[in-house]
Amino acid sequence: MSPTHATDPAGVAWATVGLYADATGTSGYVPVTSWLAGILALAALVAGIATLNGRPHRNR
């Protein structure tokens, strides 16, 4: 393992998936559709927060 592995986003992502799989007893198998749905949900949440924060508050 290289010293930069801990700061590599892909390495961190795979380590996180591995820890999640260990914690849930799925033996490292995470369906691609579930993983993709989680990423898309996170992106939608971030986009929604950014959109709400950018809107002017007219109800004062």
7-44 residue pLDDT tens: 666 667 766 666 666 666 655 566 777 778 888 899 99
Mapped to the 3 state alphabet, what secondary structure does the chain carry?
CCHHHHHCHHHHHHHHHHHHHHHHCCCCCCCHHHHHHHHHHHHHHHHHHHHHHHCCCCCC
| Between 52 and 15, residue with greater pLDDT | 52
pLDDT value of residue 1: 47
pLDDT value of residue 33: 78
Return the domain boundaries, the chain: 3-54
* Of the candidates 46, 48, 16, the residue with the CA atom closest to the CA atom of residue 8: 16
| Between 50 and 45, residue with greater pLDDT | 45
